Structure formats: C-alpha cells, structure tokens
Structure 1
C-alpha cells in the first residue's frame, strides 16, 4: 500500500471540505447530483470516445498502482543478478536453466532463457529492449488516459456551469428554482477543476513515474544479463549495476 497516495487523497478532501466549513459554508452545498452527472459522465464519455478499448482496459487495471504499486526493488534485482553471475561462473550458463524455469518475473525469465540457449549478446539486448520499449509505450498510453480526463473535466465543468445558468435565466419568474440552477452552475465548475487537479493529473503523473521506475529496473536487468553473457566478474557486475541506484 502506498500510504503517500492515500494521504494525498485524504488531504485533498480535507482541504476542500475544511476550507468550505471555515468559510461558514455547509457541506451539503458541495454535493449536487446534476453537477456530478454532467461532469463525471461527460468526462468519461469524452475519454471513452477518444480511447481504444485495449488502452482503456489497461488504464483501468493500472489505476490500482496508485495505491498498490507493483513491487520494484532495484536493490533486490541487483542481488538476483549477482547470484545468477556467481552460479554461471561456477556451473556455466546451462546451470541457470533451473533458475530460469522458477523465475517469477516474465522479463527476467526471458533473459535467463536466452542466456541458457546461448544467444549472442546483441540478440539478447535487441529482444529484451524491444520488450521493454513496447511495454513502456503501452503503459505510458495508459497514463495519458488520465491526463486526457484531466484536460476534459474542467471544460465539462464549464458546460455544466453554463447549463445551470441557462436554467436560471429560463426560470427568472420562479424564484424557488433559481437556487438549484445557481448551485449546479457553481458546483459543476468546482467538480471539473477539482477532479482535474486533485485526481486525474496526479494519477497520470504517478503512473508515469512508476512506469519510468520499472523501465529503469528492466534496463538494469538487461545490462546485468549481458554482463553475465560476456563472462564478467560478479564483483565488477555489481559495481556497474549499483550505478542504477544513484
């Protein structure tokens, strides 16, 4: 669990609701069903319209990374590569076959299997870099879904505000209906801006950071596997890979 993300969400609600209370406002004034339907529904509709189903599905699955990020420890990864290099030095590359079969990470397992199969270093690098680049691009496309939602929601909020004002202008002779129209107008704007700046943009940036961190981990893994293939000393491999911790 990423407690910083959870703390950020809590602070966002506390800041908005607490500020409203300090100004003497009622919490109920910030809850408006028509405004929520306009902003949330409109934002989702625009995002669905511009996004393909595979990307939308991937983005929905990756949203959980904000609170439960994938476990990526470069320190542990370096230790794993060093263990592989020691075993390869003692038993040869074929000694890694058992480790390849038991390796839980698909990316590392592919690299180990290429080592065991005796692939050339350039072939190993090419295959693994293609995997890394393709996955990174797909994951970054997912983060752009939330970035797009952050761009749409303030505009949809303005649409909701205009609709509320239209309701006000068409019912000037009925004072009882003016309050709901004005409330929808202002609350829709708040929803649009708040969702963009307190949820969608932060989520997009968080996911982008996690994707970059995983790519750095996989870059380290590629360098380590290539070093093993070239028969480098485990100590020199460790010194090289520790540069990824800087």
Structure 2
C-alpha cells in the first residue's frame, strides 16, 4: 500500500486543526452535525445527479484504489518478462504454458495465453491495447466523479452558510446568541472548501496518477509479449523494456 494519500490527507487535517487551536478555537466547534450532513450528503447527491447509478456504486472501489493502491514495480515486471523470454527462446513458446502458473499479473497472463494460442501479433496487440483504452476511459470517469464532488462541495457549503445566516436574522432580537449562530453558519463553508481541497480533488489527482502507472505497466507488458512472440533475444527484450521505464527507474536499475 502506498501511504502517500493517507499521510497527505492526515497532514492537511492536522494543519487545519493546529491552526484552529493556535488561534484559540476548539476542534469540537466545527463538528456540527447539520453542516456535516449538508456538505457531505449534499455533495454526494449533486455528484450522483450528474452521473449514473453505476458511477456512484463504483465510488467504493475508487476509494479502495486511492487508499490501498500499491506502488508500481516496473523493474520487477521487466525481470519476469525477460525470464519468460529466456524460457521461450530455449524451449519454445508452448513451454510458457507451465510458466504461466507462476505469473501474478493478470494482464500479463492474458497476453501470454493469447500468444500461446497462436494469435497473430497484430491482432494480439490490438486486443490488449483495446483493454488498455477501456481502462483509461473507466479510470477517467472515476477521477471525473471525484473532481465533480470537489467542485460541488464549496458551493454546497455556501448554501449551508446562507441557511445559517437566515437563522441568524430570525434571532436578531436575541443579541447574546448572534455570535454563536454566525460562527455556526460559516462552519458549512469551512467543510465545503476543506472537503473539496483536502479530500475530493486530491483523490481525483491520485486516481489519475494510479491510472497512469497501471497503464504504463500494461504497455510494458504488451511490448514484452510482442517481443517474446517474435522470438527476440532476451537481452534485446530487456534493453527495449528498460528503455520504457521512467528515467529514475532506469538509473536505479543500472546502479544495481
């Protein structure tokens, strides 16, 4: 699990509450049930209205991907593909059928199965690339949903503040209550802006980043399988695949 998202969100909330305390406030003063319900449920409702039921149901899986996504390990994937290339070079493509049992990556396993079944290289590439395109579209929609929530939340918070100020105006005859009521009215705006910039927009950005890493890994697999199917020299396969790695990863591998 990549802890960056959890640590980042926690750090942002710590900064907010530290600032609140240093200014003489109390954390409990912003945990008011009405604004919390309005901002979070209202934001979800607005996003739901702008999407489909399937998008909303998929929100749980999106949360899991954001919080539990594993950092990509392209170097390890390259090593696995090179070992498969060596085996195919020595024993033939059909020998990979037994080696597939040890393959963990489902996309790599699917590609190997297509190659073993004798699928034409162009058709094989087209099938796998179509799956990559479908994944890009699905991930883009998931990120768009969080981005939409980040756009709705501040406005929903302002609606809550307006509702609170209406309540303030209804109690002008009781000056002793006005300070508390006005402060409570602005809590909704606080949660709207804070949830947008600490939760929803960072989650959208993280989904996009996770998708980029996963797509890059899938493209690495496609290149590897095409070379294995063509019977390329394993050393050449390794060089080609490492040239696709990010500069930092390539340098790290060379240093090793």
| The two structures share one fold, judged by TM-score above 0.5 | yes
Per-residue deviation at 1:91? 1.1
CA distance in 1, matches of 2:173, 2:9: 42
Residue 22 of structure 1 corresponds to 22
Per-residue deviation at 1:208? 0.6
> SS of the counterpart of 1:231?
coil
Q: TM-score, normalised by structure 2?
A: 0.91
Residue 106 of structure 1 corresponds to 106
Asked if 2 retains the 8 angstrom alpha-carbon contact of 1:136 and 1:215, the reply is yes
Asked if 1 retains the 8 angstrom alpha-carbon contact of 2:43 and 2:156, the reply is yes
CA distance in 2, matches of 1:9, 1:202: 8
RMSD: 1.6
Asked if 2 retains the 8 angstrom alpha-carbon contact of 1:56 and 1:142, the reply is no
CA distance in 1, matches of 2:113, 2:13: 49
C-alpha spacing 1:53/1:98, structure 2 compared with 1 (3 Å): farther
CA distance in 2, matches of 1:39, 1:176: 27
Q: Which runs of 5+ in 2 are unaligned?
A: 248-256
CA distance in 2, matches of 1:57, 1:73: 30
CA distance in 2, matches of 1:179, 1:35: 17
Q: TM-score, normalised by structure 1?
A: 0.94
After superposition, the C-alpha distances for 1:179-229 in whole angstroms (9 at most, x for unaligned) are 453133211110000000111101110111000000000000000100111
Per-residue deviation at 1:71? 5.2
In the TM superposition, structure 1's runs of 4+ consecutive aligned residues that sit over 6 Å from their partners are: none
> SS of the counterpart of 1:24?
coil
CA distance in 2, matches of 1:174, 1:22: 30
Paired residues for 1:96-175 under 5 Å: 96-175=96-175
Asked if 1 retains the 8 angstrom alpha-carbon contact of 2:2 and 2:71, the reply is no
Deviates more, 1:235-244 or 1:45-54: 45-54
Deviates more, 1:52-61 or 1:27-36: 52-61
CA distance in 2, matches of 1:160, 1:55: 26
Paired residues for 1:7-86 under 5 Å: 7-70=7-70, 72-86=72-86
Per-residue deviation at 1:176? 5.4
Asked if 2 retains the 8 angstrom alpha-carbon contact of 1:59 and 1:143, the reply is no
